[in-house]
Amino acid sequence: MPVSTTTPPKRSKKAEQRAEMMEQILDAAEHLFSEHGLYGVTMKDVAQRVGVHHTLMNYYFTDKQKLFDAVFARRAQVTRDLRVAALDAYEKECAGKPTVEGALRAFLDTDLDLYSRGGEGWMNYGRLGAVAANMPYGAALMDEHFDVVVLKLIALLKRALPDCSEEDIFWGYHFVSGGLMLTLARSGRLDRLSNGLCESGDFLAAKDRMASFMAGGFMGICQHRIAERKQEAKAAAKRTKK
């Protein structure tokens, strides 16, 4: 069968202009939402940052929630797919014997590399994610876009910690997520506390430390709980003998 040499039709100039305007709107909204959250930004604010009349916004988005959802979704697929691929690669590499730190590095380092190298847009998106993660309106977006990668990490952690309770593993992930979100927020508090020794936006410095620190936390929690269960079992055995 001959191979078709037909080239796909080019987009019209009007379609290209519309796509370019959409990107400008999303970039502007991303910046504003990352600083002020969903409720601190109006459609008029976004229009002003883009440099267009606010009525034009209605042509692209019927309301602010739809705009926020589109901003959130635009980069979510990128970070999700990269982390899923990293976790899949690590799962093959470890040959059925994952470690806590290895799994966390696939999950955390991949993300921190993306934000550190992605320029202003990704830095804004990181802060936006931190804002959304700590607000009720962001929970559904987190569920929709990131559950698949989080549950893949959880599955690896369960295999790495077979004696650890599922409850403790989920609490451990909760703390990992909190540390990651605080880092992505780049609040500047770390800079002030350390008198400039540390920079909250230094994602590479965070990458050097975060997975190892969090792995130690998982091990500490799990070992403590295992010791508690052993003590409880001994106490129960003594009571039975009496």
| DSSP letter string, 34-90 | HHHTTTT--HHHHHHHHTS-GGGHHHH-SSHHHHHHHHHHHHHHHHHHHHHHHHHHH
**Alpha-carbon gap, residue 43 to 58, rounded angstroms:** 9
Share of the chain above pLDDT 90, in %: 79
**Alpha-carbon gap, residue 235 to 52, rounded angstroms:** 72
Residue showing tokens 């799994």: 103
pLDDT score recorded for residue 42: 95
Longest dimension (CA), the chain: 87
Amino acid type, 64: K
Element (H, E) at 176: helix 166-185
| Contact call for residues 71 and 30 (beta carbons, < 8 A) | yes
- Has residue 3 got a pLDDT over 60? no
Which pair of tokens denotes residue 161? 């910690």
CA count, 13 A, side-chain hemisphere, 101: 10
Report all structural domains of the chain as residue ranges with CATH numbers, in order of start: 72-241 (1.10.357.10)
- Has residue 1 got a pLDDT over 50? no
**Alpha-carbon gap, residue 187 to 183, rounded angstroms:** 8
Which pair of tokens denotes residue 59? 């042509």
Report the 10 Å Cβ neighbour count for 184. 26
Which pair of tokens denotes residue 1? 């069968």
Average pLDDT for 219-241? 75
Average pLDDT for 51-67? 92
**Alpha-carbon gap, residue 197 to 177, rounded angstroms:** 24
Q: What is the pTM of this model?
A: 0.85
**Alpha-carbon gap, residue 144 to 105, rounded angstroms:** 23
Nearby residues of 204 by Cβ (< 8 Å), 6 or more positions away: 112, 116
pLDDT score recorded for residue 134: 87
